Amino acid sequence: MLPLLSLAQRTFRCYANDMNSIAHFVTPESPCGYLADQQWRLEYDWYNELNASEYADLMLKGWRRFGHAVFRPRCRSCQACQSLRIDVQRFQPNRSQTRNRRRNEGAIRLVIGAPHINATRLALYDRYHRFQTEHVGWRAHDPKDPGSYIESFVNNPFPTEEWRYFFNKELIGIGYVDVLPVGLSAIYFYHAPEHRKRGLGIWNILCLLDRSRQLGNDHLYLGYFVKGCRSLEYKADFRPNQIFTAGQGWRDFRHADGTMAT
């Protein structure tokens, strides 16, 4: 997860503009959380007020958000972070995704509601991140404190959905989703590592695609794709898709048959 800095850690300048941004800052360079051989640097805008349409305009230009903080990479020597969106109406599942649907459809119950915080959510979040640190190589982090969880997922500038996944009565996954004029946008998803063989990250995206199709949306927005980062590369397996590159805008990336766009 990208760093959401506390007020004490930020060096920022305050200013006003027509979208009510109250602070702008760029983080110092530090070891990249995605690619071990890179340094990352992030540009943030902090908003007291931001509606779904305003954020959609920013997202289409490569920005993402946690809570009231909107960010984008500003790395000096790397442009690997590229926003990715799926063509909803032309999406064709591959064999692995078809098997995932057979495994999970009817077995996992989805409940959509407003974001909340409790001990169960915090424990699941920490369990997921401990597993990713021990088995995937993610950077270790302290247990998530309630304040930072609220700042990232619960206190939002416009209504956000919380997608809870249950196996029997057990909560096994949580995703946060923005409902925007241009389509659904996946903010973050975490799950119970003991159920990892179910491919819950893939199942979450398949559910988002189902909902997007029901809503008649053209695209589903999945955040950043980073080639070389195993935790993010799988997003490009949902095809056909497009990526956003600064200076080039949105362009075709992978076709439905898996071939690369020229």
The DSSP-derived string for 12-41 is: -B----TT-EEEEEEPPPEE-SS-TT-EE-
Answer whether the bond into residue 115 is a cis peptide, omega within 30°. no
Angle in degrees, CA 145, 72, 46, rounded to 5: 60
Q: Say yes or no to pLDDT of 49 above 50.
A: yes
* pLDDT tens digit sequence for 240-253: 999 998 889 999 99
Cα gap 182→165, rounded to integer Å: 25
Question: Predicted confidence band at 10 (pLDDT cuts at 50, 70, 90)?
Answer: very low
Q: Which fold has domain 82-254?
A: Aminopeptidase (3.40.630)
pTM over 0.75: yes
Mean pLDDT for 214-240 is: 96
Q: Say yes or no to pLDDT of 17 above 50.
A: no
Question: Predicted confidence band at 9 (pLDDT cuts at 50, 70, 90)?
Answer: very low
Mean pLDDT for 77-85 is: 95
CATH 3.40.630.30 domain span(s) along the chain: 82-254
Q: Say yes or no to pLDDT of 100 above 60.
A: yes
Angle in degrees, CA 55, 164, 142, rounded to 5: 80
Question: Predicted confidence band at 19 (pLDDT cuts at 50, 70, 90)?
Answer: low
Mean predicted lDDT score pLDDT of the chain: 92
Predicted pLDDT at 165: 98
* pLDDT tens digit sequence for 157-191: 999 999 999 999 999 999 999 999 999 999 999 99
For residue 180, CA distances in Å to 53, 139, 149, 195 come to 7, 31, 22, 30
Helix (H) or strand (E) holding 171: strand 170-180
